[in-house]
Amino acid sequence: MGMARFTDKVVVVTGAASGIGEGAARRFAAEGASLVLNDRNAEGLEALAASLSGTPVETVAGDVSRMADCEAIVARALERFGRLDVLVNNAGVDHLGKLDEGDFSAFTTVIESDVYGVVQMSRAAIAPLRAARGSIVNVSSVSGLGGDWNHSFYCAAKGAVTNFTRALSLDEAKHGVRVNAVNPSLTYTGLTAGMQEQPDLIAEFETRIPMGRGAQPDDIAGPIAFLASEDARFVTGVNLAVDGGLSASNGQPPLR
């Protein structure tokens, strides 16, 4: 890779114990960042931290759906490192199902994690981010750019993240804080494990992605790092589809 764009920078990554969050944490570590990593999975966090030899790392187990936990993550960053340059809002949960299926409490769970978590972490971090003229990168989804079958709760949440990204970027530009999002399509992580157990479903998804496959976490980590870096210093308010071309085709399957 050979880049060290985040030397002397402090990066918070939520949902860092696996998947896209883990990939992002490893990418920032490789580029010289000091890290504050959050997840509900304390053991997974510790395992990740132990594997990042040579990288200054703090771990904060907690749930971003709770404001107090968000404030604790930021407090740890400031206590240990004295600043905060980048916030990656990655933590979230998925939900598959029809509107009238299952227990409606699932909707509350998705909104609290995927929307409240992003808004609360951003609010907790905004003062030190302004001081550092830093940036926020939200992990939204192509489900926040258009609709998906059998996915209405998740689409509602990610649609909110997409437009929150735009609106917050307008308010924070004058403070020097950039706010962007990545919008992945199918990514092979623990979050999509249930889908991956259905080969026919995965195959159907993959036929609709022009590049013919889903993403690996590293495929998303690179664009996250770009948006957080000085290379993107004139980029704000962007929802960047990282989807193998899916949104370019409006999700239409290829002509046979």
Q: How far apart are CA 247 and CA 148, in angstroms?
A: 12
- List of residues 6+ apart from 71 with CB closer than 8 A: 124
Q: How far apart are CA 32 and CA 34, in angstroms?
A: 7
Point out the catalytic residue in the list 81, 154, 164, 205: 154
- List of residues 6+ apart from 242 with CB closer than 8 A: 182, 183, 184, 185, 215, 219, 220, 223
- Exposure class string for 68-77: b at 16+ Cβ within 10 A, else e: ebbbbbbebb
Is 154 catalytic? The answer is yes
Query: Which residues are catalytic, by number?
Result: 154
